[in-house]
Structure 1
Amino acid sequence: MPNLYWYFILIFGSLLLFVFTLWKSFIPRARAILIFFYIGGLAYILEYVIKVIFRSYDYFPHILENAWFDSLFGATISQGIFVPTVAMCIVAFGINTLWVIGICILIMGIEEGFIRLGIYEHHWWKTIYTGILIFIGFNMAKWWDRMLINRKPWVDYVNIYLLLILFSNMLVYLLTSIWLSHLFQVGAFKNATRDSVFTEATFIFIHSVAVSFLLQRKWKWYWFLVLYLIDWGLITLFEHVGIIQFFHFWNPALYALFPMAVALFVNWLYYRLIISCKKRLT
């Protein structure tokens, strides 16, 4: 069976679980979705550290020619879709610790199965590390659900920040892996793709700190125009000093549209999802 089929099975299973969880959830659906994004955002940050920086493991879905982009596709399915969906399910149905341990063991078994199938490999990583981290992550999901109920302002900030880095990185991944729109180059790693992923993710992490702060304060429409102009100028500077290189028809003016588009989308999500979740708790 081709490698990609196994990843499609994981996607299909995650989709079924996602839909079922939202259908039968014991908690408000908005809160369940926020749990999904919370764990997805944390998983991305963790992937940035252990996979991009320290190259802990590799996935082999064999969907893209570029090995790094191909591996990141597999990581997105595993850490960005499957694990957050399971975490959402655990919180939505109030699954207890004993069952959570059983779920962690099952996920470790799936990981070992992927290794045996040759569609995933460890470098220095161990399956037990996965079990420990997802157990911590699932309990953090339960804790985050309590934080959502408490309605602290910093909780909104974290939600917005994680939404921004998730959608921003997802968008630039599509741009670079499919259209080869641009590459960041700072020389942190010999492999050009790895160097670009690392640099752009770092830029997004820093950029999102300021944008999250402003989004939390209910942006006016003209603030998005200011964001676009600032990003346009910043990316133009990056291109001038050689930090970013554009290909085909891409240029700083076009690239700067995407941070603004993500900010607009997250702003919409903030008012339609986060605020609606708060109202249901009152």
Structure 2
Amino acid sequence: MDLNSLCYLGLGLISMILLIYICIKSDVRLALLTFIGMVGFGYIVEAVIYNFLSSYQYFPHIIKHEPVYDSALGAIASNALTLPVTATFLAVFRKNLLWVAFMIALYAGIEWLFLELHIYKHYWWKIYFTSIGLCFYFMFAKFLYHKLNGPLKGFLHTFCLYLIISPFSGSLHFIPIMFFSNRYYEFGLFTNQAKDTTAFASIFYLSASLVYVLIAKIHPFPLWVKYSVTGLCMYSATLILSHVGILHSLVWWDIWYYIALSLLCLLFTMYISKSLYKGPLTTRI
């Protein structure tokens, strides 16, 4: 384990400790929903600026066999832990603008340090882009926390539900690809196979998450129909993508894993959907 790994793992450990503190000192349900929602929001932003616009690269030196996947792991560490935990902290404890400014300055300093240590690299991105983006990111966390503090209906229910379930879907979609090379995508967006896979995986999970939300919110159909349709959609998507040459499965369990994942995501989506309808005082379905 080198300096790169220690820096990223250190940030991750600090973030986990802070998340535990937030859960202990506040409504754990509301804190976790806000945290996961901010992970989802960060994933969407990162899909645009990192996956498709190639803004920067991370060097955590954890995944040795593929630098693109190693960089993606660094992006996940940032957007699934460090930034959403900080945003949740600011929102849950209702910190004022001075706190927000301090956190933005702190992350600008960390970004500068990572650049100086050559464990992170800019292409066209700038530190002040991060600072401006974090201002909106932290303000959105306060908005999300406020909305999650009551029962949700209509568009806000759908929007928040999507933000919460999409990172669950996305992480479990891509992590096996990074560590086990069970599949790759050949969509033609990038010449580098791993980069192309990373970009198309974002399109896949964002689209799949929308399907889970839509199926979960269709009330007249019984559960067995919803699960059957979800599994069939994933199976059909896999066959179609394989037939047109976009998806290349490399292990026998690949298709079965993603069918099982789709069913698990639907279960999680329906649970969160009912929780958002009922509001913060409900601790069970």
Q: TM-score, normalised by structure 2?
A: 0.91
Residue number in structure 2 paired with 1:162: 163
Residue number in structure 1 paired with 2:129: 129
Structure-2 change in CA distance of 1:242 and 1:63 (3 Å): same
Residue number in structure 2 paired with 1:225: 228
Residue number in structure 2 paired with 1:104: 104
Residue number in structure 2 paired with 1:246: 249
Once the two structures are superposed, residues 102-142 of structure 1 have per-residue CA deviations (whole angstroms, 9 ceiling, x without a partner) of 11101111111111111111111111111111111111111
Q: Which amino acid aligns with 2:141?
A: A
Contact residue 30 and residue 274 of structure 1 kept, 8 A: no
Contact residue 156 and residue 274 of structure 1 kept, 8 A: yes
Q: Distance in 1 between matches of 2:211 and 2:36?
A: 19
1:58 is paired with a residue of what secondary structure?
Answer: strand
Q: Which amino acid aligns with 2:33?
A: L
Contact residue 22 and residue 32 of structure 1 kept, 8 A: yes
Q: TM-score, normalised by structure 1?
A: 0.92
Q: Distance in 2 between matches of 1:131 and 1:268?
A: 35
Residue number in structure 2 paired with 1:262: 265
Structure-2 change in CA distance of 1:227 and 1:199 (3 Å): same
Q: Distance in 2 between matches of 1:180 and 1:262?
A: 22
Structure-2 change in CA distance of 1:38 and 1:251 (3 Å): closer
Once the two structures are superposed, residues 240-266 of structure 1 have per-residue CA deviations (whole angstroms, 9 ceiling, x without a partner) of 221111002135344322222222233
Q: Distance in 1 between matches of 2:140 and 2:256?
A: 40
Residue number in structure 1 paired with 2:176: 175
Residue number in structure 2 paired with 1:62: 61
Contact residue 34 and residue 148 of structure 2 kept, 8 A: no
Residue number in structure 2 paired with 1:45: 44
Q: Distance in 2 between matches of 1:90 and 1:251?
A: 40
Q: How many residues are treated as equivalent by the alignment?
A: 278
1:248 is paired with a residue of what secondary structure?
Answer: coil
1:183 is paired with a residue of what secondary structure?
Answer: strand
Q: Which amino acid aligns with 1:181?
A: N
Once the two structures are superposed, residues 212-255 of structure 1 have per-residue CA deviations (whole angstroms, 9 ceiling, x without a partner) of 12223457421112210222122112112211110021353443
Q: Which moved more, 1:105-114 or 1:261-270?
A: 261-270
Shift of 1:280: 5.5
- Structure 2 residues without counterparts, runs of 5 or longer: none
Shift of 1:205: 1.6
Q: Which moved more, 1:55-64 or 1:137-146?
A: 137-146
Contact residue 11 and residue 82 of structure 1 kept, 8 A: yes
RMSD: 2.0
Structure-2 change in CA distance of 1:251 and 1:103 (3 Å): closer
Residue number in structure 1 paired with 2:30: 31
| Fraction of identical pairs, as percent | 27
1:256 is paired with a residue of what secondary structure?
Answer: helix
Contact residue 90 and residue 99 of structure 2 kept, 8 A: no
Residue number in structure 2 paired with 1:86: 86
Shift of 1:275: 4.9
Q: Distance in 2 between matches of 1:41 and 1:124?
A: 24
Q: Which amino acid aligns with 2:237?
A: L
